[in-house]
Structure 1
Amino acid sequence: MSTYNISLEGDILKVGFAKPAHGDQIVKDAAARLDEMIASGELSGGKLLMIDGPASLPVCYLIAHKVSELYSAIAIFDPKIGRKGYKTFITAVSHTPAYKIGEIIETNEPQKDKINPKVVICGPRKSGKSCLREGLKQAVIGIEGAPYPYVITACPDGEGAWFSEAAQRDPELAMQLKEEYKAKFTDEFAKLAAGWVRSANTPLNIIDVGGKTSEQNRVIMREATHAVILSGEKEKIPEWQEFCESLGLKVVAIIYSDIDGERDVIEEEAPVLTGSVHCLERGEDVSGREMVKALARVLVGLSRG
């Protein structure tokens, strides 16, 4: 089974992750599939190719290398922009005056006319939210038939989706890059991130926010639909519950981050998942933890509901 799926539907190249694997194997499988499609004539070139689906940065470079000379222009789907209900692509490659770099292309293919779940992972600083976010993403990917979880980093702390895996390999380099990428949490950033959340309409959206019940987080989180509260301090959970409820968010999980714990504890799965997750440390793969897997099932259930 390939680790990366690629298919052509009209002038749209549908891409997406399949069996979990490291980035090097994903690139190899993507290259083999593209070579197969080019050799068979399935990818024969034309005026415009639109690419729809999640891809790692190395896979993006690979696809551009393989197909950019076959098509006059290439546009990439961006779920964070465009008119509600329709798919919008951004022109990223162009060899023709017919399409300008940065030009917005709206397709006739409507997105599902429903509000897909936009789940905020929130709670106090240093609770392990970014670690949980990455483990949760991997746990969702491991569920057969689950949608790919689209992650929005709505906090300028420099700790993007790349951080967890990088920290597993080289913690010092990961922390160095985080400090270099860190920016201030301004009102302007909050408005920009809120726009990302508002426009996101993939089947499952996960939003990572800052660790304060601030006005900036209020602006961002009010665009979401659900919330997961993660806190390393039990006494701060009520503050976050009240904050989420004031924004009209449905809290689907309340989790205590037990840094010194040795195992996860699931107290209740419905109507709200409650319990604890142990030892959320940077660089750890937590996708196999019982609480993380239970939370993944809850989120996939939301996407199917």
Structure 2
Amino acid sequence: MPSIKFQHIPCHTESGLAYQHLHIQIATSNGLIEPHDLKGLKLPKEMIWNQGVVLEGKAPIWLYSYLTHLCHPTAWVACFDPRMGGAVVTSTHSDAVEVGQVLKVKLSRLVNQQSAIEHNIPTQCDRDSGSAILVCGPPGSGKSVLSYALRASLILRFPELPFLLHRANWDGEGNWSYETPDSKLVEQLVQEHERRMHINPETVMEIPFFFDRHTNATVSLREVLDLSIVDLGGRIQPEKYPLVERCTHSIIISSDPDKIPEWQQFCEPTLKPIAIIHSVLENRLEILRTEPYLEIIAGPWERGKTLTVPDILLDAVIKHCLPWLQ
């Protein structure tokens, strides 16, 4: 079975421009591919070379780069960015569009729904917007590890579920930091490229604009996806409140029980609580309650070691945010 598959769908932009939507499907159990998977990769035979193409799907940057190369004969190439709710034109031979233009296309969710149907995964087709889970708590509790592990667990159970992990913070720990085997290199790169806006006098004034951007991105994500996971960072700041209001649910993780009430207050009354996790360093899972929300003692939350979340937490996420998948 090939590791990379495509869906080719004829479409129109909101302004009526005809184009073709190329949905990328990574057909591996963990959602990862290797560079050698590019060998022999071909575009669908249905490609229409005198039209533009929008590339969309969960895939590494280097795959998008290679697909842009393969699609060079088309009229133009754009890459869908769910955070913008549109596709950014990166190459063109046509006067109809220009490089850097954002084309308003709202089909990512429909494309993913077609994929889900093919894989016998039900979807919520008649809802205006998807859910957004805010993952929050004090520093050093394991928020980013939890967010990535939740992402991995969802991919394992529902490979074609339209969702995204969105990191609304500046710590520099993207998916790459959890998928790179060289832990020392990861630590070096994170330390070198982390930008602590709140302690730099030259950037502290930019914090409201930073979170405004992530607030708008969360709104766009909810328009096209069934679920968004928003990793907010470990500080309670007034600039974050608009972003909180654009989410629907919360998961609080804390290594200090005394810090939990202030994070509960931060999330109330806007967000529906899914879980409170008392983070510990040892290998442990203890259920404290299951209603009205899940409360557990769980650990460890370590980069490179914690690859999935406990089933009871995943089931709670599905119950609250994806009930049609139960």
Determine if contact 1:140/1:148 at 8 Å carries over to the other structure. Answer: no
1:147 deviation in Å?
1.0
- Taking structure 1 as reference, are residues 21 and 274 closer, same or farther at Cα in structure 2, changes over 3 Å only? same
CA distance in 2, matches of 1:138, 1:110: 20
- Taking structure 1 as reference, are residues 249 and 139 closer, same or farther at Cα in structure 2, changes over 3 Å only? same
Give CA-to-partner distance per residue, 1:90-111, whole Å, 9 cap, x none. 2122123332111121237596
Matched, 1:213 2:236: yes
1:116 deviation in Å?
0.6
What is the aligned residue count?
A: 287
Matched, 1:152 2:166: yes
Aligned match of 2:112: none
Give CA-to-partner distance per residue, 1:58-96, whole Å, 9 cap, x none. 2212222222x22121112222224xxxxx222122123
Aligned match of 1:300: 318
Secondary structure of residue in 1 paired with 2:226: coil
Determine if contact 2:134/2:229 at 8 Å carries over to the other structure. Answer: yes
CA distance in 2, matches of 1:233, 1:94: 53
Counterpart among 26, 51, 55 of residue 51 in structure 1: 55
Aligned match of 1:70: 73
- Taking structure 1 as reference, are residues 108 and 285 closer, same or farther at Cα in structure 2, changes over 3 Å only? closer
Aligned match of 1:172: 184
Give CA-to-partner distance per residue, 1:242-299, whole Å, 9 cap, x none. 11014x111111111111x222223334431211221112222431x5x2x3323333
Gaps of 5+ in 1: 83-87
Matched, 1:256 2:278: yes
CA distance in 2, matches of 1:298, 1:54: 24
Determine if contact 1:122/1:129 at 8 Å carries over to the other structure. Answer: yes
1:218 deviation in Å?
2.0
1:136 deviation in Å?
1.0
Q: 130-139 or 180-189: which moved more? A: 180-189
1:149 deviation in Å?
3.0
Determine if contact 2:49/2:74 at 8 Å carries over to the other structure. Answer: yes
Q: 131-140 or 88-97: which moved more? A: 88-97
- Taking structure 1 as reference, are residues 244 and 109 closer, same or farther at Cα in structure 2, changes over 3 Å only? same
Determine if contact 1:147/1:303 at 8 Å carries over to the other structure. Answer: no
Give CA-to-partner distance per residue, 1:191-247, whole Å, 9 cap, x none. 11111112212111000011122113323222111110011111111111111014x
TM-score, structure 2 as length reference: 0.80
